[in-house]
Structure 1
């Protein structure tokens, strides 16, 4: 839970360009095939988008995705809102779901290849998954046996992201192509890891601003796996919905804290260097060019203990004001903390073991990672204790220079450590985005 900000949601009504991985516009997808004839008088996709524009959502010349919904009549039709119409492109330089704004709903799922499945089966699976992701992200139905769960919705900023675990390479005979950066993470003293909910041959991250759209994608990915792979573990998460606040802001976690104010930003001159593997000349395998490494941790928050703390004690643990996220030394959320400032009692204003102090990049040799988490709540046990916390996902060009040094320092004395528990872990190599006509991982599997 490093002190780096989560990507901020686009302003309400931001439309397609705000969620298209930095693209200037998003081409309209082809209308998805229906398995039944739309009722007489149903709105055409063109008319539906035109109506949406009349409500104040500016879709621009390139149009937007209307999903595969059909309205019963023109005079009773309700247009897609900006949330439903937002589309993220599948064929991009870096896979979607990395720099995309935080979505309201997410699913993380890991698969293991089935016994006897190897490189050939993995290639066929990634080909199926990539086509399904492309279709669903464009607001179309899946190619086969669509469940109709998302029939009435637009793309809703859906993203599907694919990665490979350490064990994948031995299973497919590709050990020589396994990156050194994918070596298993070291043990940390705060770990209480469940191996059954850790690691995996393949990893899929799904995010969307509509829960049904996200579930629809999860179900389609699971069905596509067929006999080639089986689910190893699966986790569900959520974030605040776009438009729920008066203006876009850094997300809060289930402790009520503004979570992560110092995320590297795409506008930073060294952003790509820190987050993405260079396209060539990096010393690593060529197939990882434009890719990134995802560290995934299920972090249980001990909320009963945390909520017993007085507000001042909570703020001392974090090193920031709970209300605004500003450092305890003053200013706004984005103000640089004054780590040397002392109070009238001569003590440091930001305690020496405060989370914000320990996770500062300049206190960790410049280590940086792009945090993009989801909160989770998986019920309440018989003693009334919530199973809740953070599905921590962070991205970096090299986890040995990103996640590992920060976590080692947190391990040695972070005040927050007594209120959290790391319960599962995974590290995945996420290749660059697929070009038109290609599938994710094709350079690895067919190289």
Structure 2
């Protein structure tokens, strides 16, 4: 398939966007005629680009667009779609809102931090090849940024393999970060942030070093798995002479429009995940999540620090527990996510509540109590995680759990104190294993014509 590689000026430069957690049910695409193909299929075979197919979203697709996660928190519009496609004779079948959702690559923050996590995601860590140096790393980030900008706009990157031909961008977001040892590899040790110091050891950790750390980190997410694969493969090919993949994990969330009435997806223990998370409308949200403009180091302004933990859930023993026991371990009802102290999913947890015998309604070691900001000096982080399932172990138990991803302005003030408290007294610890870990500095967004990390590598 010959996908068009020429972009319009507006697509090349992008806009910054307002983001938020609100989503709307997608509009279903038109069904193909019985025994035939849609005009969209014919357009795809004739060489119409992913960018031009965006024009087929029309009023039906645009009506269901999700408010997305790219660009910036404070300005513009993050998700965009085009309407009408007069260049295609006879028109094409409209993309649903899922396929038409397009996020901005440029902005004060990188995409993939704000807004809900997409239905499909892959997390990769790479190590630079020996001798790459600062110049080689800068050239790689230029290639990656150029490819990410094109793919997020629904266009073909350089040397495209055609895998995503005929597919809309589907909310594709691509995020890049630097690990602790990256700065040694490129000779920029003095520029390494203090906040990137290695995380402390926790007693419950059983970390696999081969699946932890890395010089470079990439998060790729979209609402279509083919779009995710295409982006991952494109970035991996672009790094062939510069870096090798150290480890990779694929994750998933509930598909857009698959459920309603819950603020977050359910994890593999059956619990609603993400309740009581930080919200962009909170007054101190940006201060908690992003490095300020006058932060240290200066090249991290608008950036954030991400902690990634592969947490295996011991589902066989968990599912053997009575529902009442599960709910006391977590401090929430499974059916609706409401705290044991009553109300609905978003009702604040009353940690002071006691029952008729004077015992705490929320047990002292319940996960919701131990992890609450009130129990950790106000420490909180933006959680944006995925579930994963990598088959079964030798004894037949699922190798499945949570790809815990959290964002903060300083992990030593957010993730670390909360994890220390969990490590000492969380009833849930008996049913989980921390098997891999990573901490990465994620710079602010790239300027039009620039690339992620430019202020560091050219500063």
TM superposition score normalised by structure 1? 0.87
What SS does structure 1 have at the residue aligned with 2:326?
A: helix
Deviations 1:276-302 (A, max 9, x none): 00011x2x1100000000000000000
- In 1: Cα distance, 2:47 partner to 2:227 partner: 26
Cα distance change of structure 1 residues 134 and 175 upon mapping to structure 2, 3 Å threshold: same
**Superposition deviation, residue 93 in structure 1:** 0.8
- In 1: Cα distance, 2:50 partner to 2:215 partner: 43
Give the equivalent residue in structure 2 for 1:226. Answer: 240
Deviations 1:72-130 (A, max 9, x none): x737x321000000011000110000003220000000000001111000000000000
- 2:176–2:217 CA contact under 8 A, matched in 1: yes
Give the alignment's Cα RMSD to 1 decimal: 2.6
- 1:182–1:429 CA contact under 8 A, matched in 2: yes
Q: Which residue of 89, 92, 98 maps to 1:83?
A: 98
Q: Which residue of 308, 312, 324 maps to 1:300?
A: 312
Q: Which residue of 183, 192, 203 maps to 1:178?
A: 192
**Superposition deviation, residue 348 in structure 1:** 1.2
Q: Which residue of 155, 163, 166 maps to 1:140?
A: 155
- In 1: Cα distance, 2:287 partner to 2:241 partner: 39
- 1:298–1:422 CA contact under 8 A, matched in 2: yes
1:147-296 to 2 correspondences below 5 Å:
147-247=161-261, 249-280=263-294, 282=295, 284-296=296-308
**Superposition deviation, residue 381 in structure 1:** 2.4
What SS does structure 2 have at the residue aligned with 1:166?
A: coil
Give the equivalent residue in structure 1 for 2:33. Answer: none
Give the equivalent residue in structure 2 for 1:27. Answer: none
**Superposition deviation, residue 47 in structure 1:** 8.5
What SS does structure 2 have at the residue aligned with 1:205?
A: strand
- In 2: Cα distance, 1:285 partner to 1:187 partner: 25
Deviations 1:398-421 (A, max 9, x none): 000010000000011100000000
- In 2: Cα distance, 1:55 partner to 1:442 partner: 36
- 2:26–2:256 CA contact under 8 A, matched in 1: no
**Superposition deviation, residue 428 in structure 1:** 0.1
What SS does structure 2 have at the residue aligned with 1:95?
A: coil
Give the equivalent residue in structure 1 for 2:374. Answer: 362
Give the equivalent residue in structure 1 for 2:63. Answer: 57
Structure 1 gap segments, 5+ residues each: 1-6, 16-35
Give the equivalent residue in structure 2 for 1:22. Answer: none
Task: Say if 2:437 is the partner of 1:425.
Answer: yes
In the alignment of these two chains, the number of paired residues is 413
Runs of at least 4 residues off by over 3 Å: 36-48
**Superposition deviation, residue 226 in structure 1:** 1.7
1:308-327 to 2 correspondences below 5 Å:
308-327=320-339
Structure 2 gap segments, 5+ residues each: 1-19, 29-41, 66-76
**Superposition deviation, residue 349 in structure 1:** 0.9
Which structure carries more relative contact order (alpha carbon 8 Å, separation 6+)? 1
- In 2: Cα distance, 1:406 partner to 1:365 partner: 9
